[in-house]
Amino acid sequence: MTFIPLDHPDRHAIMDEVHARPVEILPSECRLRRLVLVMPGEPGAMQRAFQRFADFRLASGVELELAGSRQYSFETPTRSVTWEFHTEFVTITWRDSLTGADNFPNDIGLEAIGEGQLLGAVRIDVIADHTIPDRLIPGFSLASLCLSNVEDGKAQVVTDFIPDAEKFTRIEFAAGALTPLRRSILTRRLLEVETYRAIALLGLPLARAASPDLRGMESELSTVINSLSEVVDPASAKGVLHGLHELSVRSGQMAERLGYRFAAGRAYGEVLNSRLKGLRESGTDKGSTLSRYIANRVEPGLATCAAIEQRLRVLSRKIERAIGLLNVRIGVDMQVQNASLLDNIARTARSQFLLQRTVEGLSTIAISYYALGIVGYLLGGPLYHWNIDKTMALSILAPLVVLFVWLSVRSVRKKHEGH
């Protein structure tokens, strides 16, 4: 009997990921548009968007079977539409004829996006020419013109990355010399370049907004560090420590707020570079290439985010180091105080010991004095009867009485010490 091993629980998910976003084979001439919509960061926003899209498709008579899928394509009477669900954004792409003029059609489910906000919009005209016709060049801005050969010179692409009045960035793609599959793959890469170019820089406004607050915290920390030498007692040290803890909380909150955005920006930047390399570009005598132009704009933005992130890390380390120094200072001061207190206690205990010895001595003398008086009264009669000198008898008995009293007092003291 043939043995068949059990499937890993994630096997099908991994296999499905390979085919999660299939390439749509494009005709030789067409117009594609894509909207990039960022969903709110609150939990459940993406699930709500998907549910609205599923309701839209259900109204058209199609029930979505795979809620875990990431790409959904469908046809309308006039266009082909694809929805893609990413981690924090949704893209809606549709294909028209080259003369299609509807930038926001009503039959692709745009109302289902709900609270999503438009971040990027791109229009790509795929034309059957082998190179970009000269008649199309004047339609782009010369200051930001990008005209490059792609796919090792087999095709050309031109754009200026400037949105038009309808918010769309225009790209012309001359792919007449490519096979249908390569034409489709390159078009998808161009769509992704514009998508990730926009999404990679989402952290830049946050970095710029955070810079003044970060600079303020750095200045506060420098002031605190410079004043550490002036901390002379535990009370002032604790006041400075409280301020450092507040700085630590504020820097931690900022790092928490920006950390995910900066990490996502780095990841999107890597995807962007991968898509640009996949174009296999070379320059022309007109304008820049997409890779050079985007690198000159995107990389400084990502570097700004990385610099803010590094400054936050350095600030956190400095705060921790200052807190550690203050804790050591407070600990040393408390040890000095404790040592002084113990020394005072020791001196007090010694004084009490000496006083106790003095009191014991005085008590022995006083008790002996009264005891001899009592003995004198008790022996007065017998001594007179026996004709014995009373003074001589008391003189002889005095050392014995003193010794007896001293031993009695000592015995009582030892019993108290034992308890």
pLDDT, position 245:
85
Q: Lowest mean pLDDT: which of 72-81, 310-319, 326-335?
A: 326-335
As to burial, measured by CB atoms within 10 angstroms (0-12 exposed, 13-18 middle, 19+ buried), residue 181 is: exposed
Average pLDDT (306-320) is 91
pLDDT at 6 over 90: no
Q: Which long-range contacts (CB under 8 A, 24 or more apart) does 244-250 make?
A: 244/319, 244/322, 244/323, 244/326, 245/323, 247/217, 247/220, 247/221, 247/319, 248/316, 248/319, 248/320, 248/323, 250/213, 250/217
pLDDT at 67 over 60: no
Q: How does the average pLDDT of the chain come out, rounded? A: 85
pLDDT at 131 over 90: yes
Average pLDDT (190-218) is 94
pLDDT at 1 over 70: no
pLDDT, position 18:
65
Specify the pTM.
0.75
Selection from 274, 251, 252 nearest residue 200 by Cα: 274
As to burial, measured by CB atoms within 10 angstroms (0-12 exposed, 13-18 middle, 19+ buried), residue 352 is: exposed
149: pLDDT confidence band, cut at 50, 70 and 90?
Answer: very high
Average pLDDT (369-374) is 73
Average pLDDT (242-268) is 90
- As a whole-number percent, the residues of the chain with pLDDT over 90 amount to 50
Average pLDDT (313-323) is 88
pLDDT, position 384:
67
pLDDT, position 105:
92
Q: How far is the C-alpha of 406 from the C-alpha of 8, rounded, in Å?
A: 92
232: pLDDT confidence band, cut at 50, 70 and 90?
Answer: low
Average pLDDT (6-19) is 72
361: pLDDT confidence band, cut at 50, 70 and 90?
Answer: low
Calculate helix-pair angle for 203-226, 234-278, nearest 10 degrees: 150
241: pLDDT confidence band, cut at 50, 70 and 90?
Answer: confident
Average pLDDT (88-116) is 92
Locate the domains of the chain by residue range.
21-182, 203-340, 350-413
9: pLDDT confidence band, cut at 50, 70 and 90?
Answer: confident
Average pLDDT (376-386) is 70
Checking DSSP bridges between strand 71-75 and strand 80-85, what pairing results, if any? Answer: antiparallel
pLDDT, position 30:
95
Average pLDDT (55-69) is 79
For 373-415, the DSSP string reads: HHHHHHHHHHHHHTT--HHHHHHHHHHHHHHHHHHHHHHHHHH
pLDDT at 93 over 90: yes
CATH of 203-340, one of 3.30.750, 2.60.120, 3.30.70, 1.20.58: 1.20.58
Q: Lowest mean pLDDT: which of 198-212, 314-328, 335-349?
A: 335-349
Q: How far is the C-alpha of 84 from the C-alpha of 27, rounded, in Å?
A: 21
Q: How far is the C-alpha of 144 from the C-alpha of 160, rounded, in Å?
A: 5
Longest dimension (CA), the chain: 158
pLDDT at 142 over 80: yes
Average pLDDT (344-371) is 70
Greater pLDDT, 155 or 24 = 155
pLDDT, position 222:
87
pLDDT, position 162:
93
Helix (H, G, I), strand (E, B) or coil at 246: helix
Q: Lowest mean pLDDT: which of 46-50, 98-102, 202-206, 350-354?
A: 350-354
Q: Lowest mean pLDDT: which of 75-89, 183-197, 399-413?
A: 399-413
pLDDT at 419 over 60: no
pLDDT at 340 over 90: no
Helix (H, G, I), strand (E, B) or coil at 166: coil
94 forms beta bridges with: 33, 81
